[in-house]
């Protein structure tokens, strides 16, 4: 059975996105990037750009699911609120496309990719290269995070069905 997922590490300065597919037990990274917005743009423009790009990816790749990292509140409440707004825009785009959304905590993602819920970003990135063929040079953690969310979803989907 074939399954394709659009995985997202939500953000408004940089939003990591990845499209992964599992077919015949083999997981493949089809696409990944960081959607980047300009700090000189208004928040509304940045939010709109991220939502438009996610909508474009849903149309282009036709995934069966959208997987997103659940928001982890850090000490900067303004940033957390804005990321929550980005998540809301992405949920809206997924709903319009009739694509179910699955959410995973940072601990679930770390555990699924490294076997430890306490792994650091470098450990996750290293394990991702062992788990899935990544043929491009990835510049930002946000992109690795999106790939890790996708791997997590495919592992979870394998368990349930």
CATH code assigned at 150: 3.30.420.10
Provide the whole-model pTM: 0.94
Q: pLDDT, tens digit, for every residue of 86-120?
A: 999 999 999 999 999 999 999 999 999 999 888 89
Check 21, 27, 33, 142 and give the catalytic one. Answer: 142
**Pairwise CA distance, residues 4 & 153, whole Å:** 10
**Pairwise CA distance, residues 50 & 29, whole Å:** 21
Is 9 part of the annotated catalytic residue set?
Answer: yes
State residue 160's pLDDT score.
59
Is 52 part of the annotated catalytic residue set?
Answer: no
pLDDT band at 70 (very low <50, low <70, confident <90, very high): confident
**Pairwise CA distance, residues 30 & 40, whole Å:** 31
Whether 2 contacts 78, CB under 8 Å: no
Mean pLDDT within 4-14: 96
Sequence-ordered list of residues with C-beta below 8 angstroms from that of 135, at least 6 positions apart, any chain = 29
Q: What is the mean pLDDT of the chain?
A: 93
pLDDT band at 75 (very low <50, low <70, confident <90, very high): low
Residue the block writes with tokens 């679930």? 108
Mean pLDDT within 132-137: 94
Check 27, 69, 143, 145 and give the catalytic one. Answer: 69
Domain count, the chain: 1
Rounded to the nearest 10 degrees, the angle between the axes of helix 121-131 and helix 141-160 is 60
Q: What are phi and psi of 81, to 5 degrees?
A: -65, -40
The boundaries of the domain holding residue 16 are 3-160
Q: What are phi and psi of 75, to 5 degrees?
A: -80, -20
Check 9, 21, 27, 143 and give the catalytic one. Answer: 9
Q: What are phi and psi of 68, to 5 degrees?
A: -140, 145
Is 103 part of the annotated catalytic residue set?
Answer: no
């Amino acid at each position: 059975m074939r399954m394709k997922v659009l995985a997202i590490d939500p953000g408004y300065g940089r939003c990591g996105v990845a499209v992964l597919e599992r077919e015949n037990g083999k997981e493949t990274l089809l696409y990944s990037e960081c959607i980047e917005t300009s700090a000189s743009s208004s928040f509304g423009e940045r939010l709109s750009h991220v939502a438009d790009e996610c909508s474009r990816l849903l149309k282009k790749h036709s995934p069966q699911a959208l997987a997103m990292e659940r928001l982890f509140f850090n000490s900067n409440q303004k940033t957390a609120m804005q990321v929550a707004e980005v998540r809301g825009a992405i949920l809206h785009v997924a709903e319009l496309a009739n694509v179910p959304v699955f959410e995973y905590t940072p601990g679930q993602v770390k555990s699924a990719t490294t076997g430890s819920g306490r792994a650091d970003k470098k450990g996750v990135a290293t394990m991702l290269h062992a788990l899935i063929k990544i043929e491009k040079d990835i510049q930002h953690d946000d992109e690795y995070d999106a790939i890790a969310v996708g791997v997590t979803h495919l592992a979870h989907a394998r368990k349930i069905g």
